[in-house]
């Protein structure tokens, strides 16, 4: 906007200057030798009657009107100038004066004849300047895509910036994916090596994977390594409200790519334009479908696109049109998944370059604690740690700030200033202690990393496990124990405070969803057997996102509900029993959390030692072991 106003102001200034020049030049300014005194008409007549005027020159302004001007020289040499409303009347006044003995010199000048062209020239010049300024200004305002002629032009950006070139050295954690794409680089650098063997390079490569795994970065690295023009565009840039614009932009994009061949065309989020045809309300005449049809023709139709490689990225490959995925178009699909622990460490080393890291920072440990993180998540983690370090006035990023950033990303920002009653503190402490005990006792679950009763995000507290290893799949035992751990908070509330709260709503939701997945998707029900219930492909109509096909009867639906209820109820009862067996640990953990608000995994595991537990509860070891769980439960209920 500032640039626009600067340009408009420049044109306005030019207009004012030209207008002033034309105006002043039209007046015919002539330098005068002596100052001219302007008299009134009556003053001039008085001077004439007194015979004080030496000479007078009378000039009519035009040939048509009677208006004119009189310039006179008085006896003392003073020059005067008077506007005459009527030259005829003034001449009559002069004729009536007594002229005997007067030396008055009367000069009558003819009106200056002005040609029609010279009279209209200033106006024509001003009109021409105005037209030029308006055309230029409107052209600039429409330069951002408002011109009708630019609707069909491609909005792809060609990247040839040598200073910001991305190579495979900037990509970490996906070695196999890089190896797949290196073939494209070798072909673009030396195509004869492949064509001599009769090989045909893939026309298109589809990068599939979760968001943030580095699909766009890989495409940029291919262009940087091959050192060829790189056209990047989003799938949504093709489709406009005007019919035929998307297809026109596809044609223009491939025309540009052919002119700069060999080149790479990268289409990000191709599912915006490549969604399965017939899945919308518009039928075959939908603008998006016309754009897709043109894209299919350009990729592998009658046209020839030699040395133009298409790379596309999406995280919804299941909704793409089958014609787009056939050999000859997208010949190869490269799955870019979440990195493993080794890949996460490599990614952290890439993103830690240029950031001052404290000596105690061990990126291997950070990689182990960030299971399931993508490359974008890891970059965000180090960036948040850097921001927190700067906020605390530190000169380097240490492990403490990385842990804070991990909690902030995973759970939310801690709200330490929120006022919480003592009763709510105890309820939250017992709730989180119930989760933590089950994490430690159950064999398939990860150990506890930290426990907190500080309100964080939307939660009143959290229990964070420490992943020991990456899991490619989940066993039935693991899912059953996960349901038990999710219900540990509700079980602890029921055992200690003899009431239940809404704090376990999210835990119950997750436990129920996992139990239903075990029954309907994974075939883990002993009664229903290894059968999938429900069509996971969804309906094709309206984008494949609205309906689910129910391929089972009402009787089976009833059985599914009973199985889900059985699994969840069994997990809840198991959680109750485990907490009854570890009631002393539950009370000690809750008391420690109320005192410190945040407990590390090592501090929590020490509570399984009777001597440490007794010290926290203020009992001797004999006293701590003597009372039954029921008695201690009643004692703590009385305290609360």
Phi, psi of 78 (to 5 degrees): -75, 135
Nearest Cα to Cα of residue 424 among 194, 243, 593, 630: 593
For residue 70, give the H/E element and its range: strand 68-74
State the Cα–Cα distance between residues 238 and 38, nearest whole angstrom.
73
For residue 8, give the H/E element and its range: helix 2-26
Burial 87-98 (b: 16+ CB within 10 A, else e): beebeeebeeee
Sign of the torsion angle spanned by Cα atoms 616, 620, 626, 631: negative
507 is in an annotated binding site: yes
On whether the CB atoms of residues 107 and 58 are closer than 8 A, the answer is: yes
209 is in an annotated binding site: yes
State the Cα–Cα distance between residues 557 and 144, nearest whole angstrom.
57
On whether the CB atoms of residues 432 and 462 are closer than 8 A, the answer is: yes
417 is in an annotated binding site: no
From 269, 289, 345, 432, the catalytic residue: 432
413 is in an annotated binding site: no
Distances (CA, A) of 445 to 170, 440, 448: 35, 7, 9
Measured in residues, the chain has a length of 640
| Helix spans in 236-328 (H) | 245-259, 287-300, 322-325
Sign of the torsion angle spanned by Cα atoms 621, 623, 625, 630: negative
85 is in an annotated binding site: no
- CA-only gyration radius of the chain, Å: 44
According to DSSP, the β-strands at 448-452 and 598-600 are antiparallel
State the Cα–Cα distance between residues 613 and 284, nearest whole angstrom.
72
State the Cα–Cα distance between residues 309 and 178, nearest whole angstrom.
16
620 is in an annotated binding site: no
202 is in an annotated binding site: no
- Read off the DSSP letter of residue 29: -
Three-state SS for 609-622 is CHHHHHHHHCCCHH
431 is in an annotated binding site: yes
For residue 42, give the H/E element and its range: helix 41-49
Angle between helix 488-496 and helix 476-486 axes, rounded to 10 deg: 40
Active site residue 432: yes
216 is in an annotated binding site: yes
State the Cα–Cα distance between residues 514 and 529, nearest whole angstrom.
17
Could you tell me which residues are annotated as the binding site? 209-216, 431, 435, 507
Residues annotated catalytic, as ranges: 432
Could you tell me which residues are annotated as the binding site for Zn(2+)? 431, 435, 507
Could you tell me which residues are annotated as the binding site for ATP? 209-216
């Amino acid at each position: 906007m500032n640039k626009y106003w600067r340009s408009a102001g420049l044109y306005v200034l030019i207009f004012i200057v030209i207008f002033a020049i034309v105006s002043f030049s039209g007046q015919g300014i002539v330098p005068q030798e002596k100052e001219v005194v302007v008299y009134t008409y009556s003053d001039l007549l008085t001077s004439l009657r007194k015979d004080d005027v030496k000479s007078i020159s009378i000039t009519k302004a035009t040939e048509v009107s009677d208006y004119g001007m009189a310039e006179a020289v008085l006896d003392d040499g003073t020059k005067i100038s008077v506007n005459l409303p009527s030259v005829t009347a003034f001449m009559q006044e002069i004729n009536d004066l007594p002229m005997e003995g007067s030396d008055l010199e009367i000069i009558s000048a003819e009106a200056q004849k002005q040609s029609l062209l010279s009279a209209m020239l200033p106006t024509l010049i001003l009109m021409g300047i105005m037209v030029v300024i308006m055309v230029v200004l409107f052209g600039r305002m429409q330069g951002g895509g408002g011109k009708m002629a630019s609707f069909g032009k491609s909005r792809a950006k060609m990247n040839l910036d040598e200073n910001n070139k991305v190579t495979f050295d900037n990509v970490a954690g996906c070695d196999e994916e890089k190896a797949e794409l290196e073939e494209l680089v070798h072909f673009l650098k030396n195509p004869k090596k492949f064509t001599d063997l009769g090989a045909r390079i893939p026309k298109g490569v589809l990068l599939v994977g979760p968001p943030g795994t580095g699909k766009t970065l890989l495409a940029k690295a291919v262009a940087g390594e091959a050192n060829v023009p790189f056209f990047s565009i989003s799938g949504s840039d093709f489709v406009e409200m005007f019919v035929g614009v998307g297809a026109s932009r596809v044609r223009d994009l491939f025309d540009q790519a052919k002119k700069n061949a060999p080149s790479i065309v990268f289409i990000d989020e191709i599912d915006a334009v490549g969604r399965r045809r017939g899945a919308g309300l518009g039928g075959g005449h939908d603008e998006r479908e016309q754009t897709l049809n043109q894209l299919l023709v350009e990729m592998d139709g009658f046209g020839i696109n030699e040395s133009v490689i298409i790379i596309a990225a999406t995280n919804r490959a299941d909704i793409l049109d089958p014609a787009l995925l056939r050999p000859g178009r997208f010949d190869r699909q490269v799955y870019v998944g979440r990195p493993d622990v080794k890949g996460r460490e490599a990614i952290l080393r890439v993103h830690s370059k240029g950031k001052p890291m404290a000596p105690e920072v061990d990126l291997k440990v950070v990689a182990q604690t960030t299971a399931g993180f993508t490359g974008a998540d890891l970059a965000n983690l180090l960036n948040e740690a850097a921001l927190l370090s700067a906020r605390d006035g530190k000169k380097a990023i240490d492990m403490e700030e990385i842990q804070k950033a991990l909690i902030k990303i995973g759970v939310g920002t801690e709200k330490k200033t929120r006022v919480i009653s003592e009763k709510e503190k105890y309820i939250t402490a017992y709730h989180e202690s119930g989760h933590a005990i089950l994490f430690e006792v159950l064999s398939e679950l990860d150990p506890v990393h930290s426990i907190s009763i500080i309100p964080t995000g939307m939660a009143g507290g959290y229990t964070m496990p420490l992943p020991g290893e990456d899991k490619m799949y989940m066993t039935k035992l693991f899912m059953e124990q996960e349901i038990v751990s999710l219900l540990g908070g509700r079980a602890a509330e029921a055992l200690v405070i003899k009431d239940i709260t809404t704090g376990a709503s999210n835990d119950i939701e997750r436990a129920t969803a996992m139990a239903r997945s075990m029954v309907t998707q994974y075939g883990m029900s002993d009664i229903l057997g290894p059968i999938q219930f429900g069509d996971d492909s969804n309906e094709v109509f309206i984008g494949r996102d609205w309906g689910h096909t129910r391929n089972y009867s009402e009787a089976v639906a009833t059985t599914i509900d009973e199985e889900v209820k059985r699994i969840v109820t069994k997990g809840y009862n198991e959680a109750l029993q485990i907490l009854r067996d570890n009631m002393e640990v539950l009370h000690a953990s809750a008391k420690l959390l109320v005192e410190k608000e945040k407990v590390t995994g090592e501090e929590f595991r020490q509570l399984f030692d009777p001597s440490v537990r007794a010290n926290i509860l203020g009992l001797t070891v004999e006293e701590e072991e003597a009372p039954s769980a029921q008695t201690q439960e009643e004692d703590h209920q009385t305290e609360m």
